[in-house]
Amino acid sequence: MAQSELSRLIPANAPVIAGMRRVSQEQAKEVLWLATKFNEDDLNQLIAATDADSDRHLEEVIVADWASDSDALGSHLLVAKGQFNLMRVSGAALHSGATGLSYNGVPVLALKSTNAAMPGNRWLAIPRADLALFGTPSAVQYAIDHYRSRAPVDPALAERLKNAFSQDAAWSSVRLHPGVKESRVNLRTDGELALSCVAGIHQLDLGIQLGKKVKIDLNVGSGAFDVVPVKCLSGAFFSDGRAKMHVTVYGDDTSHLRVSLSHGEYDRWLDTFRRSRVNQMLEAMISEPPDGERARPNTN
C-alpha cells in the first residue's frame, strides 16, 4: 500500500498530520513527531486492542487531528498499514466488553476509552488484513467513507505532504495559528527573541531520518508572514543552550534547514526541545485556533 493510499483517508486541511514508518515501539519513543496527546493515546490503545493478534505488526502509521463540536482537535484518526487478523482482534475485544457494529459495510468495534486523554468511545475498523483505522467515531467514519469511495488522494494533501520522504522514520506537517501565540506564551515577558521566528510560521514540516547519524529536516515553506531569518530559525529549533549545532540551509528562500547529529547529540537535543519554550509555543499555536477558524474536513 503506497503512502498516497493511506493519506487519502485523512482530511487535507487537518491542522495536525504526522506519521511514522518501520520503527519499533522503543524507537517510537525516541523519534520526534509533532503529534498530539490524542494521537499518542490512540496509538497506545490500538496496540492494546490488537495485542491478542500474535501476528500483528505495524509498518506505517499516519495520524490526523481536526475540529469536533467541542474541541479544536476533538476529531482524531490513526490509519495503520501492517498485518491485522480481524477474527482474533474481534474475539478478544468482544470478550472484553467491546460492541460489534457495522458502518458502510465495514465491521467496526466500539471501545470504551475511560483512561484516555479524551474519554469517550473509540472505533476500531479493519477493512482488510493490511489496514486498521482507529479514533473517534466520526473520524473513523470519515476514513471508511473515503476507503469505500476509492477516491484518489486530494491534490492539496499531496502537495502539503511533499516533504514527507519515504526514508523518514517520522514526519509531521502542522498548521499553526499565529493569532493565538500570546494566549500561553508571552514573548515580551519571556524575552526570548528566538521565539519571534516561530510566531510568523503558518505551516511547519519536520522529518526525522534514523541511521548512523540522525538527520532532522525542518521546512517552513512559503507560509511564513515574511522570510524567516535563517539564523533566528536555526537558533530557535537547533540550539541546546550550550552550543549551536551546524545547520545546512537549502533553497533560495532559506526555508529548509537540515541538522545531522550523532545519536547521543540527538538524544540531548530531543530532551531539551521537548522542555523548551519553542515546543510549548508550538503546542499552543496548534491547539488554539481563533474562534471561527476551526478546520473541518471537506466531505466532497
Domain coordinates of the chain in residue numbers?
3-153, 176-287
* 3-class DSSP assignment, residue 156: helix
Query: Where on the phi/psi map is residue 205: left (φ > 0), alpha (ψ -120 to 50), or beta?
Result: beta
Q: What is the mean pLDDT of each run of 10 residues along the chain (300 residues)?
A: 75 91 74 85 92 93 86 85 96 94 96 77 96 96 95 88 84 76 45 64 88 88 53 74 57 70 90 85 68 52
May I ask the CATH class of domain 176-287? alpha beta
**In whole angstroms, how far apart are CA 65 and each of 10, 49, 112, 242?**
9, 21, 19, 35
pLDDT at 181: 45
Q: What is the pLDDT of residue 67?
A: 83
Q: Which among 68, 122, 127, 80 is positioned nearest to 97, based on CA atoms?
A: 122
pLDDT at site 115: 64
Residue 248 pLDDT: 66
Give the pLDDT of residue 101: 96
